[in-house]
Every structure is written in structure tokens, then in C-alpha cells.
Amino acid sequence: ERAYSQEYLGVASIDKNQFYSDEWIERICVIDEKESTKTSGDFFGGFDIARMGGDQFTAEILRRVEKNNITQVDHYTRKLLTTIDNENLIIEFTNKWNCIYSGIDAGAGTLGVSVYDHLLKVDGIKRKIIAMNNRQIVDKEEKKQRLFNEDMHDNLRAMGERKEIKLFNKEEIKSSLRSVQWDLVEDAHGLKKVKIHGRLTHIAEGLIRAALLA
């Protein structure tokens, strides 16, 4: 009941399993999309890939003026995409904002791997695409570093707590952030660890990648 209320109805959290608190969301999601300043700074993209089912593609673009001054400048979602659609949209938004880096989940099954491999063959784009899987990050020099999904969410939440980032005041963005939940689980060695999950987290998944790159 709790999961359904948070993920599908957008009901405020009644316990501590909501990763981003309602207070955090209201404090961070304050930018009027129509009035946002988009002229200068360094731009970074975060993308979550969609399949032909019920998944949602999302493009989230952040602008960095200074290390502690990061604001959202673009947001786009779409359903029912082919592999080519995913690739073209990532190229379109990366070029539109001349992103320094664009992060994608290349570990999302065969689709994520295919999209990543194809983008690495596109001149002008290949050096900007960063594979940010839920298990590791691969930089442009092909160095691998362990990076869990929970680490990226931790980073975004910390940036918000330090007042370093502001996002659009848009209900679908807030709903996605509200849908992110956490639970304590035991691994194979009996150690407790935090697991983050949710069914409407596509927008949040794009944001955590853009935020880490920025």
C-alpha cells in the first residue's frame, strides 16, 4: 500500500522509505521552466533509455555556472521509442546544449549496450558519451570505477542539501523524485545495505547522471 501510494498516487511519504523527502523536493524544485536562464555556463546531460513497452525516455540537462551553482535548463520525456529513437534524441539534446558530457545507462540490457556502442561511432558525440551504469562508470579514457545507483542518488540528495542545485518546479519531476524509495537488504554475505528502487524513477535516473557529471 505504501509503495503504491508513493509511486502511483504521489501521496506524501508517511514513513522514512521515501529517499527524497517532500521538504527536500519542495526546496529544490523551484525553477519556472519558462523563465530559466539558459545562455551561459557548462552543460551536462543525463538520459534514461526507454523501450517499446511502458518505459519512459528522459532527457535532463543541467547548467553549471560554478561548482555550487547548478540549475536545470531542459527536460523532456517520451514513450514508445525504438533503439534509433533513443540514439537520435540523445544526439539531439547533446548537440542542442553542446553538452560537455552526456551520461547514459549502458547497462540497461541489450538496448543500453546497443545505444552506447552506436553513439561511440558518431563523430562529434562519441567523446561526450559516458556510460554510467548502475554498477560502474566508464570515462572517456575507458577507466572503470565502481559506482552504484545508490551512490548517484546520494550525490544528488547531498547537492540539494548543500543548496548547490535547483530543478524545475514541474509536477512530473516531483512525482518521479517522490517515487524513489529505499530499503535495507542483506547481501550474499549477510551484510546490510541500502537498495534504491521505484517504478516511476526514469526522470530521477536522468537527473542523477547529469548531476554527477556536473
Q: Does residue 15 surpass a pLDDT of 60?
A: no
Cell of 84: 534509433
What tens digit of pLDDT does each residue of 18-45 get? 999 999 999 999 999 887 767 789 999 9
Looking at residue 79, the DSSP 8-state letter turns out to be E
Burial code of 69-79, b = ≥16 C-beta within 10 A, e = fewer?
Answer: ebbbbbbbbee
For residue 89, give the nearest of 115, 63, 65 by alpha carbon: 115
Higher pLDDT, 147 or 32: 32
Q: Indicate the burial class of 109 (C-beta count within 10 angstroms; 0-12, 13-18, 19 or more).
A: exposed
- The model's confidence at residue 163, banded by pLDDT at 50, 70 and 90, is very high
| 71-75, 108-112, 139-143, 182-186 — most confident range | 71-75
Between the CA of residue 106 and those of 27, 49, 57, 69, 180, what are the distances in Å?
31, 9, 14, 28, 21
Residue 76's closest CA among 91, 93, 88?
A: 93
Per-residue model confidence (pLDDT) at position 193: 77
Q: What is the pLDDT of residue 42?
A: 96
| Contact of 200 with 175, CB cutoff 8 Å | yes
Tell me the average pLDDT across 134-151: 65
pLDDT digits (tens, 9 = 90+) for 177-213: 999 998 877 777 777 777 888 888 999 999 999 999 9
User: What pTM was estimated for this model as a whole?
Assistant: 0.85
Give the residue among 75, 64, 151, 156 at the shortest CA–CA distance from 101.
64
In this prediction, what percent of the chain has a pLDDT beyond 90? 57
- Please tell me the predicted confidence (pLDDT) of residue 172: 95
54-67 pLDDT tens trace: 678 999 999 999 88
pLDDT mean over 145-159: 85
